[in-house]
Amino acid sequence: MKAITKDFSLDYAKQLDASDALAPLRNEFYVNDDLIYLDGNSLGLISKRSERTMFELLESWKTHNIDGWTQGERPWFFLPESLSKQMAALVGAEAEEVIITGSTSSNIHQLVSTFYQPQGKRTKIMATELDFPTDIYALQSQLRLKGFDPDQHLIRVTSRDGRMIEEDDIIAAMSEEVALILLPTVLYRSGQLLDMQRLTAEAHARGILIGFDGCHSVGSIPHYLSDWDVDFALWCNYKYLNGGPGGVASLYVNKKHFGRIPGLTGWYSSNKNKQFDMEHSLTVEQTAGAYQIGTPHIFSIAPLIGSLEIFEMTTIEDIRRKSLHISRYMIDLINEELQGLGYTIANPMDDARRGGHISLEHDEAVRICKALKQNHVIPDYRSPNVVRLAPVALYTTYEDVWKTVQILKSIIVEKQYEAFDTKRGVVA
């Protein structure tokens, strides 16, 4: 893609901010003016609405006690379902196909245990060698539970360059031995966006069920899961959705699979009208709500309520439009200002293949990240050599991006990084 930036001055960055239609949404968040926050792809900022809804749920406990399950403005018993319509709009699904529940890892286990049903020669699961570790750990666990050796039955599509996975290579690996595919929507290191629609169509043409881990895309890019006929998906809500640290996650199940008994059932898998009959025979819910297992985590859901209100103030298409523009602006600045300083952009250059964060490689990535923090810029480090920078559409400014690139330049030119050791933190 050609550069969009002709003027690399600070004044031009300020002009972009002045014309940014999403700029007012920054005021919805608690933004530290002395800090440039570029780690929203790991943990989004807290919003003022999230703070409010957190206190509202605490107040409901104080006011209603146990009756809060059925009384008050937001009865707890129905809270996950009450948010499904708002969440479904972000992933291109019907409300009944989405439920707010669990965590990323527990939802992988729930969905894979449901949809991985090996029969005959179809015993293998497909992933990629660049997947986030939790996905691989869960798939290995599910294979072992079914009596299969993960070394033999987990196919990991290899990368040609260590950064990206080609869709052609994924499709070529869709053999008659594959029963299930779980892929990331966006690769967590390089920010590559996979073509979900194409991969779903190719999998179904071969009789294979397919699902996606949308942790690094939901809230940043549009999805059309139902139109694409994706079988299932899951995602966390604390990155681009700003739902708070350790916040409850979400999942999607295509309505064509409704009525299937989930692989992991519990009290909340029940039809709501039957749940308190206390029968030992499960009447399974006929929506994605069936994939809940236990009691919803009310105070983990609470911040998400406020955050989803902010997403209703715009559209996911407008968010994507700014995300692409501001990330392209950052790429242009990097190419202009950081030449010869050892930085390499690892993202796909084509907008259609790029998620919401910039993947910047450098041999001194660990020390650069420490120096960035010393300069009041919050980045993200990923082993072995990646500085991840997320210009989040809802609250990052073009001026933030301009200043960050100048700091990245100074860190190398002035050898600021040499003041730090090469040991990464326990949490990177």
Annotated binding-site residue? 134: yes
* Spatial distance between the Cα atoms of 94 and 171, rounded to a whole number of angstroms: 28
135 annotated binding-site participant: yes
- Does 216 show up as a binding residue in the annotation? yes
Angle between helices 365-374 and 398-413 (to 10 degrees): 120
- Identity of residue 278: M
Kindly tell me the sign of the dihedral angle through the C-alpha atoms of 249, 214, 105, 246.
negative
- 102: alpha, beta or left? (left if phi > 0; alpha if psi -120 to 50): left
* Nearest-angstrom CA–CA distance, 387 and 403: 16
295 is in an annotated binding site: yes
133 is in an annotated binding site: yes
- Three-state DSSP class for 402? helix
Which strand ranges, in their side-by-side order, compose the sheet holding 154-157?
98-100, 250-253, 232-235, 209-213, 178-184, 124-128, 154-157
Task: Tell me whether residue 303 is annotated as binding.
Answer: no
- 104 marked among binding-site residues: yes
The answer to the question of whether 265 is labelled as a binding residue is no
What would the two tokens of residue 399 be? Answer: 């001026």
105 is in an annotated binding site: yes
- Peptide bond connecting 24 to the previous residue in cis, omega within 30 degrees of 0: no
CB-based contacts of 163: which residues, under 8 Å, 6+ apart?
130, 187, 189, 190, 192, 346, 359
Report the SS3 class of residue 76: helix
217 touches 192 (CB < 8 A): no
**Could you give the CA distance from residue 425 to residue 24 in angstroms, rounded to a whole number?**
35
> Which residues make up each annotated binding site?
104-105, 132-135, 213, 216, 238, 267, 295
From the annotation, which residues make up the binding site for pyridoxal 5'-phosphate?
104-105, 132-135, 213, 216, 238, 267, 295
